[in-house]
Each structure stands twice: as structure tokens, then as C-alpha cells.
Structure 1
Amino acid sequence: MRLTAHTDYGLRVLMSLAVMEGRVVTIEELAERHGISRNHLMKVALTLVNLGFVKSIRGRGGGLTLAQMPGSLQMGHVVRSLESDVELVACLGSGQCNCVFHGACKLTGALGRAVEAFFAELDRLTLADLVADPCRMRERLAVLA
């Protein structure tokens, strides 16, 4: 299983905003600090705003801030919200499955349990857990405290 770049960038944005708490952070600043396209980050930010994870402040001095406390953002919920397709194989989905072994093999159940375990582990983590060492995180972002 591989997370999309959209989800990866979304998680990076959330972690960045968490360690730069109390600041309004621009897309331009995030793009520069992470070496990510501004246009791509704009799409990611819009998704995060629409999901209610981030607030957008318009106008001069505007940018992004967290919409929720880091301790209340469960990473499993965030990843489920950002990922459109977490089905490892077609038979895990709700659509048409054209596998000849559908319903006869044990792979579907095993993969389903693996996906559940993946999200169970993420559900144990909050954004606050991911940024438990904010000084080191800010250092990596080259942000002065």
C-alpha cells in the first residue's frame, strides 16, 4: 500500500502548522520549506480546509493555521479522509470484482485485516504525537522558535 502524494503532502502541511503554532503560514513558505510545487500545495491546502483540518485566512497577512488542536486530530481519520482508495485489491472494494478466486481464497480476508491493522495503528496517533519534538521539527524546517 502506498499513500498518494496528496496525502503525504497533507500530512506534512499539518505537521508544519502544528510546530509553527501561533503563526499564520503561507502556501509559499510551505512550498519553499518542503521543496514542493506551490500549485500542488494549493490543492492540498484546499482539501485540508474543506475537511475542516485547516483554516484559511484571506488577505494581507493571510495564510493557513490549524483548525483543531493537534491532540484532537487522529491520523487514521486524516488519512482516511485524504485517501480516496485504500482497497489493496478489487475484491476489497464495493465495486465489481472480476477475480476468478473471489469468495474462494483467503487473501481477501488477510488483506482486509492488514488494512484494518494499518488504520488501527494510525488511529492510535494524533498530530500532537507526530510532532512530539517540536524543536527538532522546527530545526528541520529551518524555522526560528
Structure 2
Amino acid sequence: MKLSTKGRYGLRAIIDLARFGKEAPVSISSIAARQGISEGYLEQIVALLKKAELVKSVRGAGGGYVLAKEANEISVGDILRALEGDLDAVNCSAEGGCTVADECVTKYVWRKINDSINHTVDEMLLSKLAEESEDINPDGEFENQCK
């Protein structure tokens, strides 16, 4: 499985929002500046996160975006599924009753891999990533090192 820039940048953006949106809404432009992501692309990403009810917008002066839930209620799996869709590494047709389903042994391999991926990302919480981000990168800026 390979994640697109949408998933990678979106995860960085929502970690930024978890860190810097505790007291007040965070603007797209401030996230974009800290993370080195274009505002236009970030708007598309945030729209997907909003549709998934992971973030919400605040209108008016000083408006921007905030988390729609507590950071400890949002998993990396929630975020990546909102941005990437299904996270399965292999969509095995044997699972859907293909003509070789009864004789296919590889379906067990694919199921195990898929289950492992989903379990891993569902166990990782946004709150923990935000804490770790603060520890290793106090200013929150990536300085073009992680694109």
C-alpha cells in the first residue's frame, strides 16, 4: 500500500490543527505556511476531513478550522480513510466469491495483511501524534524536509 500526498499531507495538517487549534481556530494559510503545503491543495484536503466530520469550520473574524472531536477520539485510520478511502493493501476478489474462492489459499495472506494495516492505524491516536510532534518539532514547521 502506498499513500498519496493527500494522505501524507492531510495527516500532517490535522496534526498541526491538533497542536495549534487548542485555543482558537487555525487558518488554512497558517497550516499551509508551517507545513509547506499549497493553500489550494490544503483546502481540498480539509474539505474531505470536514466531510468526514473530523474537522469543522468557524466563520467570522478569527475564524478557521478546529477539530470536530477530541484528538484522543480520532485515529490515524479515521484520517487516512477520510482522505484515501479503503486502506486494504489488496482487494482480493476471492473474498467476494470469485470462481476460485474455494481453492484460493492466498486470500488468507491478503486478509491478514489488510487486518494488520487497519489494526495498526486504528490504534494510533491523533492526540499521541500531536504530543510527539511537539516534543520533536516544537515550532511545528517542516522546512521542506518531509514532502
TM class by shorter chain equals: 0.7 to 0.9
**Aligned equivalent of 1:12:** 12
Unaligned runs of 5+ in 2: 143-147
Deviation at 1:60, TM superposition (A): 2.5
- Is the contact made by 2:53 and 2:68 (CA closer than 8 Å) also made in structure 1? yes
Q: Percent identity?
A: 29
After superposition, residues 40-119 of structure 1 pair within 5 angstroms as 40-92=41-93, 104-119=103-118
TM-score (norm 2): 0.79
Deviation at 1:135, TM superposition (A): 4.5
Deviation at 1:102, TM superposition (A): 6.2
RMSD: 2.6
- Is the contact made by 1:56 and 1:64 (CA closer than 8 Å) also made in structure 2? yes
After superposition, the C-alpha distances for 1:65-117 in whole angstroms (9 at most, x for unaligned) are: 111111111222332232224343452587897xx976544333212211110
- Is the contact made by 1:54 and 1:66 (CA closer than 8 Å) also made in structure 2? yes
SS of match in other structure, 2:89: coil
CA distance in 2, matches of 1:38, 1:96: 44
SS of match in other structure, 2:80: helix
**Aligned equivalent of 2:122:** 123
Q: Which moved more, 1:29-38 or 1:129-138?
A: 129-138
CA distance in 2, matches of 1:96, 1:58: 49
**Aligned equivalent of 1:139:** 139
Deviation at 1:138, TM superposition (A): 3.4
After superposition, the C-alpha distances for 1:8-62 in whole angstroms (9 at most, x for unaligned) are: 2221111001111213211111111111111110011111111111111123221
SS of match in other structure, 1:55: strand
Q: Which amino acid aligns with 1:138?
A: P
Q: Which amino acid aligns with 1:42?
A: E
- Is the contact made by 2:13 and 2:35 (CA closer than 8 Å) also made in structure 1? no
- Is the contact made by 1:71 and 1:126 (CA closer than 8 Å) also made in structure 2? yes
TM-score (norm 1): 0.80
After superposition, the C-alpha distances for 1:105-139 in whole angstroms (9 at most, x for unaligned) are: 43332122111101111221211111223253432
Deviation at 1:63, TM superposition (A): 0.9
